[in-house]
Structures are given as structure tokens and as C-alpha cells.
Amino acid sequence: MKLRFAPSPTGNLHVGNARTLLLNWLYAKKKGAEFILRFDDTDLERSKDEYAEQIKQDMAWLGLDYDAVIKQSDRLKVYQEAAEKLKQSGRLYPCYETKHELDFKRKRQLSQGRPPIYDRAALRLSADEVAAFEAEGRIPHWRFQLEDVTITWQDGAHGELSFDAKHFSDPILIRENGAPVYTLSGVVDDLDLGITHIIRGDDHISNTAIQIHLMEALGGRGEDFVFVHLPLLTGADGEGLSKRLGSLGLKDLKEENYEAMALVNYLGQLGNSEESDISLSLKDFIASFDLSKFGKSSPKFSQEDLLRANGKFLQVVPFEQIKGRLDDLGFTKTTKAFWETIQGNLTLLTDVKEYEEICFSTITPKIEEHDFIEQAKEALPKAPWNEETWVQWTSALKSQTGRKGKALFMPLRQALTGEDHGPEMKKLLPFIGYEKALKRLNGNRE
């Protein structure tokens, strides 16, 4: 078994293509299959090495490896040979229309209520007409002549899909500048490299019909491939995500300090009919992964959900696993005990900053009820402190003042942390310590 992820390096990976990547990778690992990273970079103008490099870095961030990397731009000769073969069998024919002429034809067809299918005018050109075009300096592009067949396959996500080739235009496989179009290079590679499973977005469904037809013209067989067309992600209201995807790049999420494994959990779950627990490692995730649970309804992506997933991951990740990340972010004061105290309150790892500040640095106390805080100061238990200290202190204050609930706890929290919310005070208090607490109750910046 062999799978591939085939991005066009014309931009950065976003959550949509990261999901395709991840599901391919997970499936490959689950089945012990080979996994290839293939850069579909035959569009030399739009493809850039720096995007390819960034894609590799994004994969490394997620912890997704590959067995080989292939650049289609290194294989142009192979595609040329395939094109020659098609020319020889009469399936690839030269066309001389300009883009402008093609647009005009399309518009006319549409205005006449006809489908905008290429009329194969190029097949009817006489030798003289061809010679005249050539004399004008026109360079042909080349189209693949479809046969009047029905193409059917069993799709892993959609069930049986069937298309009549007569509803498609003969696809262009070679552009005027001689560059192969992805339809050709993709098919040649999928055949040549022995790919067995093609998992990609369902925006490729109609391409697949053409590609299967082309595979057969090149001596391959569509039924040798398993196709799974995953529904594209939509926004929370079911709207297309395409416009927002630009701001949902993996690079951006990394810079915003999302945890890679949280993203894996979130994207690897989206569209899965069964909820499962957070996995701490890719290894665990592979163990619970089941591609057959991904159906044909469009999963909804929401950044709020992703943020929540990040928080859920931080709630369970052990100190030993997160230590390196804490160090990278400069949170060197966070010990195991401290981590376990605050992890339940984090959404992003950068939230640690606030807790380190409260316990190991300086804050500005928020004191509104001075008399009560005065009393609280008097009742403050002496060191050493432990997790019982908070209860001891607040119970004493409760009986002295008759205060309870928010009226009792909030002024204390505000004085000791400068904040209205945060981790459980009973856990935080021992980290703040007697001296700091006393100074803060005195209203000192400490």
C-alpha cells in the first residue's frame, strides 16, 4: 500500500489541506503503508520553493514524516513521454484557440443555454488551417480526447459515483508553454509510483472521473486505486471556508502558540461520527484512528472549537511532555507541581505567563473593600502553607464576617492576584506564599 499527499506549493498549508494531509498520514501509518510527499509544482509561475520548504516545516511541526519526497518539476521528461504516447495513440490533439477565443465560445454557449463544453473544433481543422496558425506563430496547447464512456467508482466517502464523459470538455493536458497540467502529471505519478489509495478533498471528484479515464488510456486501471473524497471543511454556518483559509495557515497557528498535538486531535476528529478522548501522542491517535468513520457530510471548522481543543489538550498533557515547550516560551519557573496546579485553566500555553506573574513575579493588587481586606490580613494563617491554608483562612473569615460565596472569595482573589478569575485559590496560595500575600493585602505592588 502506498499513499501520497500532493500539495501544490503555491501557498502555505491551511487547516483544510492540513486535514487531508493528516488523514492520509494516519491511514498510511495505521496500515503500515508507504507515505510520499509529492509537490505538484508543474505550474512554474505560481509554485515557489519557499512554500515547499514551509510545507515541510509545517509537517515537521505536526510530527508527520514521509518516506520520500517527489517534485513534479524534476519529472517533466516522464510527463512528456506519457504525452507522446497519447499523441501516438491519437488521444492527444493540438488546439490553437487563444484564451480569448475560448472565453468567447464559452459565453456564446452559455447564452444559448448550452453547456460550456469544448466543441472539438481543433479536430476539424484542415492541414492548411493548421499551417496558417503555425505561420502566424501560434503554439498549440494539447487536449485529451475523451471517449463516450461512463466512468464509475466506489468512493470511500461517497459510495458509488458515476459520470458520463460526454458531459466534460476534453481536458487540456499540455499548455502552450509546454508545461503539463496537473491532470496529466498527477495521473502519471499515481501510476508510476504505485500509489494505491488517493485520499483528497471532494472538490476533486469530477477530476477523478477524467483521471480514471486518462489512467486507462495510459495503460493503467482505475479499479487499482481506492479513492476517498473527503468533504471540504465549512464554517460554523455551513458556508465555504475558502475566503477565511488564508488566515488559518499552519504557520500562523504555530506562531500563535497552538499545540501541534491539539491541532492533530481537532483536525483528526472533524467529520468523524464518533467522539473520542484526547490523544497525547500521534502513536495513540493512530491506534484509535478509523477512516471508515468519516462520512460524506461537511465537517464544520471553528476556531473557537480549535481553541477549546487546545485547552483540553493542555488540561491532560503531563509536565514531562510539555516541559520543552515551556522552556521554549521562557516559562522556566513552572515546576511539575505548579504545572499541575494551573494546567486546567489554560487555553493557550502562553496563558502560563499570567500565573507565573501571580506567583513568582509582581502584580498590582485590586483592593476595593479595604475594611474586609484589613480583617483578612489579620486572619492570614502563618507559614508554612499547604492546600489546606485557603480553606482554613476563608472559614475563619466566614465566621468572623458572615460573608460567604463570591462576597467572601472575590476580594481575596482580587487582592492576591489582581484578577477576577483564575485557577483555584487553594492551589495557588501556597505558590504565592505568606510574605507576598501579606504585602499584596497591604496594597503593595509585589
The span from the CA of 263 to the CA of 124, in Å, is 54
Residue nearest to ligand GLU (CB): 40
Q: How far is the CB of 140 from ligand GLU (least distance, A)?
A: 25
Closest among 257, 240, 245, 413 to 350, alpha carbons compared: 257
Helix (H, G, I), strand (E, B) or coil at 33: coil
Q: How far is the CB of 301 from ligand GLU (least distance, A)?
A: 18
Task: Give, as ranges, the residues between 180 and 239 that touch ligand GLU (CB under 6 A).
Answer: 182, 186, 200, 204
C-alpha grid cell for residue 386? 499547604
Check: CB of residue 240 under 8 Å from CB of residue 232: yes
In terms of CB distance, is 220 or 411 closer to ligand GLU?
Answer: 220
Q: How far is the CB of 186 from ligand GLU (least distance, A)?
A: 5
E strands in 139-252: 141-144, 150-155, 159-164, 172-174, 197-201, 226-230
Q: Should residue 249 be labelled a site residue for ligand GLU when binding is judged by CB under 6 A? A: no
What would the DSSP string read from start to end of 320-360?
A: HHHHHHHHHTT-TT--HHHHHHHGGG-SSGGGHHHHHHHHH
CA angle 54, 321, 56 (to 5 degrees): 10
Place of cell 473569615: 397
Q: Should residue 298 be labelled a site residue for ligand GLU when binding is judged by CB under 6 A? A: no
* Site size toward ligand GLU, by CB under 6 A: 8
The span from the CA of 4 to the CA of 37, in Å, is 6
In terms of CB distance, is 170 or 189 closer to ligand GLU?
Answer: 189
Q: How far is the CB of 184 from ligand GLU (least distance, A)?
A: 12
The span from the CA of 105 to the CA of 359, in Å, is 72
Task: Give, as ranges, the residues between 17 and 76 that touch ligand GLU (CB under 6 A).
Answer: 40
* Contacting range for ligand GLU; rule: CB under 6 A; set: 5-13, 87-95, 271-279, 321-329: 5-13
H-state helical runs in 160-277: 182-192, 205-217, 242-245, 250-255, 260-269
Task: Give, as ranges, the residues between 148 and 187 that touch ligand GLU (CB under 6 A).
Answer: 182, 186
Binder among 7, 268, 271, 423 for ligand GLU (CB under 6 A): 7
Q: How far is the CB of 23 from ligand GLU (least distance, A)?
A: 12
Q: Should residue 8 be labelled a site residue for ligand GLU when binding is judged by CB under 6 A? A: yes
Q: How far is the CB of 147 from ligand GLU (least distance, A)?
A: 22
In terms of CB distance, is 279 or 298 closer to ligand GLU?
Answer: 298
In terms of CB distance, is 240 or 344 closer to ligand GLU?
Answer: 240
Q: Which residues of the chain form contacts with ligand GLU (CB under 6 A)? A: 6-8, 40, 182, 186, 200, 204
